[in-house]
């Protein structure tokens, strides 16, 4: 079956339909990861977005429940060069085509994804439609233009958990499904209680916190800070998530109320919320950072980390007050990639230290969070 990707500026890309035969609208972004497509599908930070994968062969190794970062795919649609109708991997339980069809995600394949990426790099993120209605292209372009823009949209409250739950600390698994062994001395240390705000949290974040001998309680995005403090946490984590951080006034208020009372750690959307709570401002990047190969400089150690990233917004470092230290910078475009408060126990990064998919260079940040909690208890 023929399919079409229609962008809001009138650019059309024609290909073949796979996955679910449905029409979907979203902001079109590209991801440069070489592997880990199922983790990308199931990352809640991609809610509201159609994802273009630059790796030309997708679906080769099928899908597996242990590779999922959440209960279902969150991408609105998928754009690829070649989409494999079969899988070749002993871990695969379902081919990618059937998996996406079952979860209602449309796929357009056999198009020049290089041309799509170059168009997005030149023109920025664009709203688009994936459809099998290949004749009425004017209507599809109009539908893309009419779709709500990402700026000003709160998606964290849409994807968050609806109820408080305790993460199963007994059987944490890594991204390959194997039991995740704790770090060398974690078992000898006191179990610490971390309350994690779910703005679209990935399961590997919970695995990494558990690996540091932390008992994790996950709470909905709008949980009041007073309710969190009533749980007697040793630390509070603010997760990744989709959408614009500016409308998340409830999250900003919670950070301000918790600041100084308990150690805080934020990543991605959590990092942006920290920036706003500390007096800074955020802005939308031209085409975002999406992929597992982004170089970050740790300004305090001068070491370079190759990181996994997935975000469209960033904190303006010039807007931050003097009591906030810039700790990391993106070497591709010199955007702010990390901050910490000079006196209060809180820090955040604009990338995914848990990876999945991606390199493991930044796992140390979870150890740093544990050390911060230990020092705060003394």
Q: What is the pLDDT of residues 167-188, one digit of tens each?
A: 975 544 444 444 444 555 555 5
Asked if 264 and 295 touch (Cβ cutoff 8 Å), the reply is no
Short-list 13, 6, 51, CA closest to 33: 51
Listed in sequence order, the residues at least 6 apart from 118 whose beta carbon sits closer than 8 Å to its beta carbon are none
Residue 352 three-state SS: strand
- Helical axes 249-258 vs 269-277, angle rounded to 10°: 70
Q: Could you give all domains of the chain from N- to C-terminal order, each with its CATH number?
A: 2-146 (3.50.30.20), 156-377 (3.40.50.880)
- Predicted confidence at residue 190, as pLDDT, reads 86
Asked if 348 and 355 touch (Cβ cutoff 8 Å), the reply is no
- Predicted confidence at residue 186, as pLDDT, reads 55
The pLDDT tens digits for 301-314 are 999 999 999 999 99
Asked if 212 and 117 touch (Cβ cutoff 8 Å), the reply is no
Residue 275 gets the label, from left (phi > 0), alpha (psi -120 to 50) or beta, of alpha
- Predicted confidence at residue 184, as pLDDT, reads 52
Q: In terms of pTM, does the model score above 0.85?
A: yes
CA distances from 192 to 16, 35, 46, 189, 213 (A): 51, 33, 31, 9, 7
Residue positions annotated with a catalytic role: 268, 352, 354
> How far is the C-alpha of 196 from the C-alpha of 327, rounded, in Å?
23
Q: How many CA atoms lie within 13 A of 357 on its CB side?
A: 17
Listed in sequence order, the residues at least 6 apart from 51 whose beta carbon sits closer than 8 Å to its beta carbon are 28, 29, 30, 31, 40, 75, 77, 78, 79, 290
> How far is the C-alpha of 68 from the C-alpha of 3, rounded, in Å?
27
Helices (H) and strands (E) in the chain, counts: 10, 19
- Predicted confidence at residue 238, as pLDDT, reads 98
Phi and psi angles of residue 158, each rounded to the nearest 5 degrees, phi first: -85, -40
Residue ranges of the chain with per-residue pLDDT less than 70: 169-188
Helix or strand holding residue 375 (H, E) = helix 364-377
Q: What is the mean pLDDT of the chain?
A: 94
> How far is the C-alpha of 197 from the C-alpha of 200, rounded, in Å?
9
- Predicted confidence at residue 172, as pLDDT, reads 43
In terms of DSSP H, where are the helices of 3-64? 37-41
Q: What is the DSSP string of 77-90?
A: EEE-SEE-SS---T
Give the distance from CA 273 to its chain's centroid: 14
């Amino acid at each position: 079956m023929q399919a079409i990707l229609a962008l809001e500026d009138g650019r059309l890309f024609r290909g073949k339909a796979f996955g679910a035969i449905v029409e979907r609208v979203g902001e079109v972004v590209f991801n440069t990861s070489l592997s880990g497509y199922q983790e990308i599908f199931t990352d809640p930070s991609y809610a509201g977005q159609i994802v273009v994968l630059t790796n030309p062969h997708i679906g080769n190794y099928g899908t597996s429940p242990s590779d999922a970062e959440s209960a279902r795919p969150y991408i609105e649609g998928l754009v690829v060069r070649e989409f494999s109708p079969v899988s070749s991997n002993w871990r695969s339980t379902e081919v990618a085509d059937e998996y996406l069809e079952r979860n209602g995600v449309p796929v357009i394949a056999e198009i020049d994804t290089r041309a799509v990426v170059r168009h997005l790099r030149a023109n920025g993120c664009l709203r688009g439609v994936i459809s099998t209605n290949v004749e009425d292209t004017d209507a599809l372009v109009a539908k893309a233009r009419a779709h709500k823009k990402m700026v000003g949209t709160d998606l964290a409250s849409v994807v968050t958990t609806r109820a408080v739950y305790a993460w199963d600390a007994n059987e944490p698994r890594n991204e390959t499904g194997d039991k995740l062994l704790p770090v060398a001395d974690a078992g000898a240390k006191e179990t610490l209680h971390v309350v994690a705000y779910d703005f679209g949290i990935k399961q590997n974040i919970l695995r990494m916190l558990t690996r540091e001998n932390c008992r994790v309680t996950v709470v909905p995005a709008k949980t009041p800070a007073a309710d969190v403090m009533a749980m007697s946490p040793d630390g509070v984590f603010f997760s990744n998530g989709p959408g614009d951080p500016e409308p998340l006034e409830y999250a900003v208020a919670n950070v301000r109320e918790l600041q100084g009372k308990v150690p805080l750690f934020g990543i991605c959307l959590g990092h942006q919320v920290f920036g706003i709570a500390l007096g800074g401002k955020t802005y939308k990047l031209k085409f975002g950072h999406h992929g597992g190969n982004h170089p970050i400089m740790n300004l305090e150690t001068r070491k370079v980390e190759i990181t996994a990233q997935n975000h469209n917004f960033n904190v303006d470092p010039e807007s931050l007050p003097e009591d906030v230290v810039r700790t990391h910078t993106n070497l591709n475009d010199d955007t702010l990639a990390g901050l910490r408060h000079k006196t209060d126990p809180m820090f955040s990064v604009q990338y995914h230290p848990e990876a999945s998919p991606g390199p493991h260079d930044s796992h140390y940040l979870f150890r740093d969070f544990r050390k911060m909690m230990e020092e705060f208890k003394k």
